[in-house]
Structure 1
Amino acid sequence: MTSAPARDPGPAPPEVQLRILKVLVFSQALGGAGMAAGITVGALLAQDLLGSTGLAGLPVALFAAGAAAGALGAGQISQRWGRRPGLALGHATAAVGSVGVVAAATARTVPLLLFSLFVYGAGTATNLLARYAGADLAAPEERGRATGTVLLATTLGAVAGPGLAGPTGAVAHAWDLPRLTGPFLLAVVAYTAAALVLALWLRPDPLLLARERQSGQATESGGRRGHSGGAGVVAGAAVMVTGQLVMIAVMTMTPVHMTGHGHSTQAAGLVIALHVGAMFLPSPLTGLLVDRVGRLPVATASGGVLLAAGVLAALAPPTGTAGTVLLAAALVLLGVGWNLGLVSGSALVTDAAAPEARAATQGLVDVGMAIAGATGGMVSGLVVAGSGYRWLALCAGVVALAVIPLVARASQSRSYGAPSLSRSTV
């Protein structure tokens, strides 16, 4: 039986929340550009230094392992000292990892490269964790939009970053460094700038202020303190972890499936680009739906959209233009379904977790997401090798439906959210 969550003291003054969002948007745009380095050239660097195409996927595993450690560490630091040191230190860690990658590639030192990729992955975990900071001081009925705003800012840098691979590679070459280190040079600058922005300007600290306001509310109501609403945390975590597992599994093997059936590398790249755009660009609209329609309906919709993505990918012809178009549509749906789950799940967890336990709880949820992503990446290859891409896509879609009974259970338990959510989320 779950205990009732603490009463929400209401939103912070609008000017304070606006300032917090501006700082987060600026830092996330920078962080997104840094995150793009790993996506753009991480596998190519590993292939170059290791001399093996089969090991080119190793950076994905290292990013995922690092992200799990980073999410746990940043969550604990934020829990104890606030969002500002947690997020700033995370971005600084990514900058240090980027320096290590550049040094390893220049010296052609494999152990240093692998360790640096792990450190880089640990730092990049803060790119997603920042979405929670945007919702700390938001009114319950505005948390979805606040989360969506921060996620959209990440897209700005992530989309621009790959386009700078050529210019940054030229800079690296001019400095007698390997061209592939160019995006990581950008990551050093971007993550360092993001860390400074957060350390200097994320004031007041949104989590600490939310905690103070909650403490004041508890004092006025006779000293009662809140506890995490178990049903809401479980439902939100399940939605996000399932979405991450399904999304990573299908996304990872789609380029392999396409190039293996005669599609060009450019076509596969376009499909993945559309997918990444669909992951983040709908965030403001998703946030609006989460606030207006409700957390639970949007979370349920995420399972349906992910199922549709899996079925469409399974039915797409493996060759020809029609196959490319249908796979592109499937991957767009895959990104949208993931986005629906991430924004609604984040709001559910934030609603259910009391401020005194919120950051640690959110960090643990993101550890689960990182582990799910690593699992999806590893299992997807085995499924495709044993049964084919169509079975992978179909099974992933069916797995996505697992969120529906969990969401239904949370809907039956009215103990997961703030009191004001009865109008906007159920």
Structure 2
Amino acid sequence: MKSNNSSTIEQYVHSTDEQQKLYKRSLIIVMLSQVFGGAGLAAGITVGALLAKDMLGTESFAGLPAALFTLGSALAAFVVGQLSQRYGRRYGLSFGFIAGGIGAIGVIIAANINSLALLFISLFVYGAGTATNLQARYAGTDLANEKQRATATSIAMVATTFGAVAGPNLVTPMGKVATAMNMPALAGPFILAAVAYILAGLTLFIFLRPDPLLVAKAIAAEQQKQQHTVAENVNVLQNKANRMGIFVGALVLILSHVIMVSIMTMTPVHMQGHGSNLSAIGMVIGLHVASMYLPSLGTGILVDKIGRTFVVVASGIILAAAGLVAAFAPGDSMVWITLALMLLGLGWNFGLISGTAIIIDSTNIQNRAKTQGSVDVWVALAGSAGSILSGVVVAYSSYAMLGFIGTYLALLLVPVMIWVRFKTK
């Protein structure tokens, strides 16, 4: 079996045409899995905070569900990264999605038996789906060249849009499904999440073969054989540049993610407090998620053609604008809150794709998946901290204050990129 797999990979190593065919095929499989994965992540975003508020009886800890599933996604990011590096994307990603589906099933059971302990454990496990959904963006880049990397990332993310936009808008219908099954209405979206995540995992496990990461590793090993002698001082300089790139890419990903998660987490609670119903909340979150993923194709082209630095700075400015609009928007104004959340999604999209491209540029195939997983751990931990603190900020200050804090953090991206430009000259 092993030798068959090796000979299958071997045919791609020596043929550029076969590599391009596999690159396109892998992208299609990743896109299909991302449609399901997008629907899975939407449940936690839309109703996680509302479910916790109902079960806890207070708003103060409404950010806890997002904190738990982002904390769970931190552990999952590490595990998925390690599994992918060792066994390939197929095993790592399918494991993460199926774990997320099992977590969603646990949330459904917890809501039915009113068990806070099971809810918290299940939300933690459910976070594996969120981490995997993000890490799947890397799978399409394994066989991409330097000028295709951001575009390949963005193609994978565009596919997420279909499921991620449909998910929040299915909150009310899925609530009715849950009610018809004698379950709490807020458990409904997690039924969708369980099915979607498990389907995403099975799609990757069955169809993502030969594994693009394993093929890319074999190609790199062959190239290394052909270029056996490399100047040692060039390697030293390259490693230094790589460390700087990984740090900068990670910082961009962390800042853009913590701003987005913090404001997004408290928006459903803020809207509900001003009289909005679940359908209105679902629509706003659906448009927010569309703004997170739908612009991806254009963003990827921008990053590849105009450059990483330009898009990072644009991300900071857009996120800062989102924070200000959220801060000044009347709580009962659907128009202004929708605008704030759409800007928030777009700014996050710019930060995610430019930061991802910087990380890919700064790693080689031997350490890429492992490094990507480690960076995503810090991204998830930052998101978890942002989720917890967002609930505390809103409970003891206001939603407007949360917007102002987001603006301040977003503007930090601009001096960071100016510093990098001077440092690398």
Q: TM-score, normalised by structure 1?
A: 0.85
SS at match of 1:355: coil
AA aligned opposite 1:305: I
Q: Matched residue of 2:147: which SS?
A: helix
**Aligned AA (2:98):** A
The list of structure 1 runs, each at least 4 consecutive aligned residues, that deviate by more than 6 angstroms after superposition, is: 9-12
Give 1:368's aligned amino acid.
W
Aligned to 1:318, the other structure's residue is in SS state coil
| In structure 2, C-alpha distance between the alignment counterparts of 1:254 and 1:104, rounded to whole Å | 24
* Residue number among 338, 341, 364 corresponding to 1:354 in the alignment: 364
Distance 1:188 1:274, change over 3 A: closer
Whether 2:385 is the aligned partner of 1:375: answer yes
Q: CA RMSD in A?
A: 2.8
Task: Tell me if 1:68 matches 2:74.
Answer: yes
SS in 2 for 1:229: helix
Distance in 2 separating the partners of 1:236 and 1:201? 31
- Per-residue deviation, 1:55: 4.2
1:27-46 equivalence runs, <5 A? 27-46=33-52
1:331 corresponding residue in structure 2: 341
Deviations 1:87-146 (A, max 9, x none): 000011112212222333333333222211111112331011101111111111111111
| TM-fit CA distance, 1:359 | 0.8
Partner residue in 2 for 1:295: 308
Structure 1 position 172, deviation (Å)? 4.2
Q: Deviations over 1:331-371 (max 9, x none)?
A: 32222111100001001101111111111111111111111
* Equivalent pair of 2:104/2:193 in contact (CA under 8 Å): yes
2:402 maps to which of 392, 395, 398? 392
Task: Return the offset for 1:52.
Answer: 4.7
Amino acid at match of 1:308: A
Query: What is the CA-CA distance between 1:318 and the residue it aligns to?
Result: 3.1
Tell me if 1:318 matches 2:330: yes
Question: Number of paired residues?
Answer: 403
Q: Tell me the percent identity.
A: 48
CA gap of 1:350–1:382, structure 2 versus 1, over 3 A, is same
**Aligned positions of 1:395-410 closer than 5 A:** 395-410=405-420
Whether the aligned pair in 2 keeps the contact of 1:12 and 1:139 (CA below 8 Å) is no
Describe the shift of the 1:162–1:259 C-alpha distance in structure 2 as closer, same or farther (beyond 3 A): closer
Correspondence 1:74-85 to 2 at 5 A: 74-85=80-91
Where does residue 304 of structure 1 map in the other structure? 317
How do 1:21-420 residues align onto structure 2 when only pairs under 5 Å count? Answer: 21-222=27-228, 224=230, 229-257=242-270, 262=274, 264-265=276-277, 270-314=283-327, 316=328, 318=330, 324-385=334-395, 388-412=398-422
CA distance in 1, matches of 2:400, 2:54: 31
SS of match in other structure, 2:367? helix
CA distance, structure 2, for counterparts of residue 303 and residue 329 of structure 1: 17
Structure 1 equivalent of residue 10 of structure 2:
none
- Paired residues of 1:98 and 1:184 also in contact (CA < 8 A): yes
Deviation at 1:214, TM superposition (A): 1.4
Instruction: Give the Å deviation of 1:238.
Output: 0.8
Give the Cα separation in 2 of the matches to 1:53 and 1:320: 18
Q: Please tell me the residue identity of whatever aligns with 1:162.
A: P
**1-structure distance, mates of 2:47, 2:262:** 20
CA distance in 1, matches of 2:17, 2:410: 34
* Counterpart Cα distance in 2 of 1:384 and 1:361: 35
Q: CA deviation at 1:200?
A: 1.3
* One-letter amino acid of the structure 1 residue matched with residue 84 of structure 2: S
What is the identity, as a one-letter code, of the residue corresponding to 1:276? Answer: V
Change in Cα spacing, 1:166 to 1:330, as seen in structure 2 (3 Å) is closer
CA 1:239–1:11: 2 relative to 1, 3 Å = farther
Contact kept, 8 Å, 1:12 with 1:137, in 2: the verdict is no
User: How has the CA–CA distance of structure 1 residues 205 and 318 changed in structure 2, closer, same or farther, with 3 Å as cutoff?
Assistant: same
Aligned equivalents of 1:378, 1:336: Cα separation in 2: 23
Residue deviations 1:298-357 (CA, integer Å, cap 9, x gap): 11211122222233434x353675xx5344333322221111000010011011111111
Normalising by structure 2, what TM-score?
A: 0.85
In 1, distance between residues paired with 2:35 and 2:106? 22
Specify whether residues 259 and 133 from structure 1 end up closer, same or farther in structure 2 by C-alpha distance, changes over 3 A only: same
Which 10-residue stretch deviates more, 198-207 or 163-172? 163-172
Tell me the CA shift for residue 375 of structure 1: 1.9
CA distance in 2, matches of 1:252, 1:144: 27
| 1:418 counterpart residue number | none
**How far apart are 1:51 and its partner, in Å?**
4.8
Deviation at residue 255 of structure 1 after TM alignment: 4.6
How many Å separate the matches in 2 of 1:339 and 1:11?
32
Q: Cα distance, 1:384 vs. partner?
A: 4.2
Distance 1:94 1:270, change over 3 A: closer
Residue type at the aligned position of 1:318: P
Q: CA 1:335–1:44 in 2, change beyond 3 Å: closer, same or farther?
A: closer
- Structure 2, unmatched stretches of 5+, are 1-14
User: Which amino acid in 1 is paired with 2:251?
Assistant: A
The structural deviation recorded for 1:218 is: 1.6
Tell me how far 1:28 sits from its aligned partner.
0.8
Q: 1:121 to 1:197 in 2, by over 3 A?
A: same
Q: What 5-or-longer segments of structure 1 have no aligned partner?
A: 1-8, 416-426
